[in-house]
């Protein structure tokens, strides 16, 4: 079974690569766009700190690391790109081709739409930036912090995308939900900023309602040794991940039962 799905993933990767490689200029522009956006974020932090005394105790090097870690988290989230177009597939009755295949429908929907090139670009650029920032700022990063940061980030990516999926699955009942989804998940733009610059209520929202803080903020402060993880923190995160996963799977199965070929 595992071998079968690994072959499918490899096939999806090859198809994704072939689709983008045909347009080499587009491939280059995607990378250029990524580098431009990242440079602009770094320039923003530098300009901001040049005009104010401090930002919640964050130095420029730490903010640069924060931005690099955030980009790394975004690259992992790219594996769930298939959720973006799922509402239109439900409405147009395009899930039939997935349901008729002898593979897991949700797996096929997700991985068929993954842009592997963009994922690799984000992953490598963010990883290189993390290394450059750490070396340039002479940061001493503990191996234990790296491991814990990755664990929290991975769980955060799962939690966020489980919630993203749950909202997306509402299309089985309500049809077009892109605007509603965009309204709710518009808060994710706050991932570009450290959590501790927000008011306490906003911190709660960004941690437990739209939990983007687990993708960017917490992995960074753990990596920089600005925060130590308690057992209770880890257990809460684990429970949060488990609950959202159960809801994710349950709502998916309920939605599939409502699906019709001429629309959800």
Question: Which segments of 2-112 are extended strands (E)?
Answer: none
Tell me what pLDDT residue 263 has.
Answer: 45
Give the separation between CA 181 and CA 213, rounded to whole angstroms. 18
Average pLDDT over residues 152-162: 92
Say which residue the tokens 């939990």 belong to.
211
Closest CA to 254 of 160, 171, 161, 162: 171
Total residues found in the chain within this entry: 264
Residue 5 has pLDDT above 60, yes or no: no
Window from 70-74, 175-179, 260-264 with minimum mean pLDDT: 260-264
What residues does 263 pair with on adjacent strands? 260
Q: Where are the domains of the chain?
A: 2-258
pLDDT, greater one: 115 or 233: 233
Whole-structure pTM value:
0.83
**pLDDT tens-digit readout, 26-50:** 667 777 878 888 888 888 888 888 8
Tell me what pLDDT residue 3 has.
Answer: 66
Average pLDDT over residues 192-209: 87
Tell me what pLDDT residue 148 has.
Answer: 93
Say how many C-beta atoms besides its own lie within 10 A of residue 155's C-beta: 21
Residue 217 has pLDDT above 80, yes or no: yes
Give the separation between CA 230 and CA 167, rounded to whole angstroms. 31
DSSP state of 210: S
Q: What is the mean pLDDT of the chain?
A: 82
DSSP state of 176: -
Give the separation between CA 70 and CA 68, rounded to whole angstroms. 5
Tell me what pLDDT residue 24 has.
Answer: 67
Q: What percent of the chain has pLDDT over 70?
A: 85
Window from 9-18, 100-109, 134-143, 212-221 with minimum mean pLDDT: 9-18
Average pLDDT over residues 92-109: 74
Closest CA to 262 of 89, 147, 124, 93: 93
Tell me what pLDDT residue 2 has.
Answer: 60
Residue 264 has pLDDT above 50, yes or no: no
């Amino acid at each position: 079974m595992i071998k079968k799905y690994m072959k499918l993933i490899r096939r999806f990767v090859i198809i994704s690569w072939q689709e983008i490689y045909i347009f080499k200029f587009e491939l280059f522009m995607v990378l250029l766009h990524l580098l431009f956006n990242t440079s602009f974020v770094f320039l923003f932090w530098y300009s901001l700190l040049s005009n104010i005394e401090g930002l919640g105790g964050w130095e420029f090097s730490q903010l640069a690391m924060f931005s690099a870690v955030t980009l790394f988290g975004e690259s992992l989230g790219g594996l769930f790109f298939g959720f973006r177009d799922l509402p239109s597939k439900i409405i147009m009755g395009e899930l039939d081709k997935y349901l008729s295949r002898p593979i897991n429908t949700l797996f096929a929907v997700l991985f068929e739409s993954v842009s592997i090139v963009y994922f690799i670009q984000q992953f490598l650029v963010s990883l290189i930036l993390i290394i450059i920032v750490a070396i340039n700022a002479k940061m001493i990063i503990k191996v234990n912090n790296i491991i814990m940061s990755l664990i929290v980030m991975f769980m955060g990516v799962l939690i966020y995308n489980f919630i993203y999926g749950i909202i997306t699955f509402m299309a089985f009942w309500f049809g077009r939900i892109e605007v509603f989804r965009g309204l709710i998940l518009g808060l994710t733009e706050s991932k570009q900023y450290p959590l501790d610059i927000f008011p306490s209520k906003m911190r709660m929202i960004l941690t437990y309602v739209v939990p983007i803080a687990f993708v960017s903020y917490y992995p960074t402060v753990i990596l920089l040794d600005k925060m130590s993880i308690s057992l209770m923190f880890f257990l809460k995160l684990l429970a949060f991940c488990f609950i959202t996963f159960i809801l994710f799977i349950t709502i998916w199965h309920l939605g599939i039962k409502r699906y019709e070929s001429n629309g959800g």
